[in-house]
Amino acid sequence: MRALLLLLLTPLLMAQGSPRLVPDVSQRSIDIIYSFTGAQLLVFGAILYPGGRVPDSPADVVVVLKGPTESITVREKQKVAGIWVNADSARFRSAPTFYAVASSRPLDQIVDERTAAIYELGINSLQLSPTTAGTPGEAVRFENGLVDLRRRGGLYVEDARPVEISDDVLYRARIDVPARVVVGRYTAETFLIQDGRVVAAAVREIVIRKSGFERFVAAAANQHALLYGLVAVGVSLLLGWMAGALFRRG
């Protein structure tokens, strides 16, 4: 009986002996309006060690801001008879629309490749889940192409400002959110890593949404697609007619 009781209490005792993260973010929601040029998100918090005792070897902190995932097809362009045409393609089932990571030290000095792959720490460790058939080499080529496109667009960022840790307890990281991000629910994940192992993790949600006139247009396009299309065509024709009339007068 005593052995059974100790067995049942072991997980609770181990949890009490593990550090905890208490994270927060500077903004729980970001509104996109016509003048939106991007935002800066501050992820901060505290590390609570059992008994308030900081270990002899301080832990590292990694912060990941990730946007909604999407299914996307990547097409390769080839030049045929002087014309660029679509050639081979690959489809990925779960590509994040936005991914940014900040860490207290370079990632390769904090975790090994296996741990990085499990927790998707780093752009090269993202699990994009290719769905189209092909050789491993082809999948890697298209994956590298997708990552390169989003890096150049500022949507995949790994050289973010480093995580600052004060007194081995308080941490903060600043992550830039570009103007091109899609709306949806984002997650700010914080990982506490010690001796190459993730010993604690916590997450906060951020909602990025359209506001004002942009929100009205997006809602109209989604809820009344036919009417929205007719109005858009009508406005285009009206603007074209007005431009032609002004040109003839000039």
Q: What letter would DSSP give residue 40? A: E
CA distance 234 to 126: 44
pLDDT at 75 over 70: yes
> For residue 187, is pLDDT > 80?
yes
Look at residues 23, 19, 21 and name the one whose alpha carbon lies nearest to residue 204: 23
Residues 44, 26: Cα–Cα separation, whole Å: 8
Q: Name which of 201, 162, 206, 160 is nearest 181 in CA terms.
A: 206
Copy the structure tokens of residue 37: 């040029």
pTM of the prediction? 0.75
CB crowding 69-93: b at 16 or more within 10 Å, else e: beeeebeeeeeeeeeeeeeeebbbe
The answer to whether 33 and 217 are in contact (CB under 8 A) is no
Residue 198: what pLDDT?
96
Is the pLDDT assigned to residue 215 strictly greater than 60? no
Question: What residues contact 12, with CB distance under 8 A and at least 6 apart?
Answer: none
pLDDT mean over 4-19: 50
Q: Which of 67-81, 98-112, 122-136, 220-234 has the highest mean pLDDT?
A: 98-112
User: What is the structure's pLDDT at 52?
Assistant: 79
With a cut of 90, say whether residue 33 has pLDDT above it.
Answer: no
- pLDDT score of 126: 93
Distance, in Å, from the CA atom of 108 to the CA atom of 123, rounded to the nearest integer, reads 12
What pLDDT does residue 80 have? 64
User: What domains appear along the chain, each with residue ranges and CATH number?
Assistant: 19-210 (2.60.40.1930), 212-250 (no CATH)
Provide the sign of the torsion angle of the four alpha carbons 244, 245, 248, 250, taken in this order: negative
pLDDT band at 81 (very low <50, low <70, confident <90, very high): low
Distance of alpha carbon 82 from alpha carbon 34, whole angstroms: 39
* More confident call, 82 vs 100: 100
Rounded mean pLDDT, 55-70? 92
CA torsion, ordered 180, 97, 47, 110, to nearest 10 deg: -110
pLDDT digit string, tens, across residues 110-150: 999 999 999 999 999 999 888 875 677 777 888 888 999 99
Identify whether the C-beta of residue 23 lies closer than 8 Å to the C-beta of residue 190: yes
Question: pLDDT value at position 151?
Answer: 93
pLDDT at 218 over 50: no
